[in-house]
Each structure stands twice: as C-alpha cells, then as structure tokens.
C-alpha cells in the first residue's frame, strides 16, 4: 500500500554544480585521489557500465595493471563524451582489481588524479576480486556521473 507523502514543505534544491566535501571528522582522502562526500544537484544521471582494457574487437589491451588501467580510463572518457558528460561530472567510481596488492595504491591515486584533477575527485571504492568477466582482465571501473540541470 502506497503512502501519500506531503512534499510541500520541502525547499527547492537550487540547480548548482556538484559539491565535493571533506568532513573534518574523516581523513583527508584528497591526497589519495578521491572525495569523501559528493552532493549532486538535480540533473541527468549517467550510469556507465564497468569499463576494462577491452577494445572494440573485444580484445584485452595491455598485460600490466598500469596498461589496463590507462586503457580502462580511456574507455570511461569515451563513454562520458558519448553521453555529453565530462570527468568533472563524475560523482562516484567503483573499481574492481584482480590480485590486489597495496603496492597498486600509488598507481590508482595517479590515475584518478590525472583523470579527474585535484578539484573534481569523485567518491571512490576499490574492491579486490578473484577474477573479472573476461580471462586476463585485471581492472574494471564503473562510473556514475551527473550533468546538473543548469550545466555550467
């Protein structure tokens, strides 16, 4: 049974840009290449399927984690452009990594900072996994982006 909810007392959310917060109570994640909290205004939400180092012919590109991460982020850029979004519109990423080792963290940080810049870091999660969909894949990234209604 559905309940009627009175929304008349809610203030209208202004159409502004995406806000990224670093609460004082949480560690400063910006040095690690992500933001603790991202607030997205009303807009067009874009969900990008997991992107790996897979070319148009469904072939894996690269043998190393770094090569595969580079290509996966290139695929993300292509998907963002196809949707009319830019890296600064990304609000969250989820990364899957095969054979995770903490020694990969500097590489992850470098990739995020190069792709998003210091001022546009998304919320981020890294999940170690035993394998990915295609044998030989080492890295995959899923992206959520929001293009604000009054896109600057």
Q: What is the pTM for the complete model shown? A: 0.82
pLDDT band at residue 1 under the 50/70/90 scheme = very low
Task: Please check whether residue 8 lies inside any domain of the structure.
Answer: no
Strand (E) or helix (H) holding 140? strand 139-148
In a domain, 25, yes or no: yes
Question: Confidence band (pLDDT; 50, 70, 90) for 152?
Answer: low
Residues 6+ apart with CB under 8 A from 96: 50, 127, 129, 132, 139, 140, 141, 142
d(CA 133, CA 69): 16
Domain containing residue 41 = 20-148
Query: Counting Cβ atoms within 10 Å, is residue 99 exposed (0-12), middle (13-18) or buried (19+)?
Result: exposed
The string of DSSP codes covering 94-106 is: EEEEET--GGGHH
With cut-offs at 50, 70 and 90, classify the pLDDT of residue 81: very high
Determine whether 63 is exposed, middle or buried from the number of CB atoms within 10 Å of its CB (0-12, 13-18, 19+). exposed
CATH of the domain at 107: 3.30.1330.40
- The answer to whether residue 112 is domain-embedded is yes
Q: Assign 37 to helix, strand or coil.
A: strand
25-54 tens-digit pLDDT: 888 888 878 888 888 888 899 999 999 999
**How many independent structural domains does the chain possess?**
1
């Amino acid at each position: 049974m559905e309940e009627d909810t009175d929304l008349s007392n809610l203030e209208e959310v202004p159409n502004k840009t995406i806000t990224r917060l670093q609460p004082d109570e949480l560690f400063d994640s910006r040095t690690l290449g992500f933001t603790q909290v991202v607030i997205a205004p009303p807009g067009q939400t874009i969900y990008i399927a997991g992107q790996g180092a897979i070319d148009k012919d469904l072939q894996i590109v690269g043998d190393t984690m770094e090569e595969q991460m580079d290509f996966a982020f290139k695929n993300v850029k292509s998907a963002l452009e196809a949707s009319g979004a830019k890296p600064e519109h990304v609000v969250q990423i989820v990364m899957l990594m095969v054979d995770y080792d903490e020694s990969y963290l500097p590489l992850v940080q470098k990739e995020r900072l190069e792709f998003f810049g210091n001022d546009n870091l998304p919320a981020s999660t890294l999940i170690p996994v035993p394998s990915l969909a295609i044998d030989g894949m080492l890295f995959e990234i899923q992206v959520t982006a929001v293009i604000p209604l009054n896109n600057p």
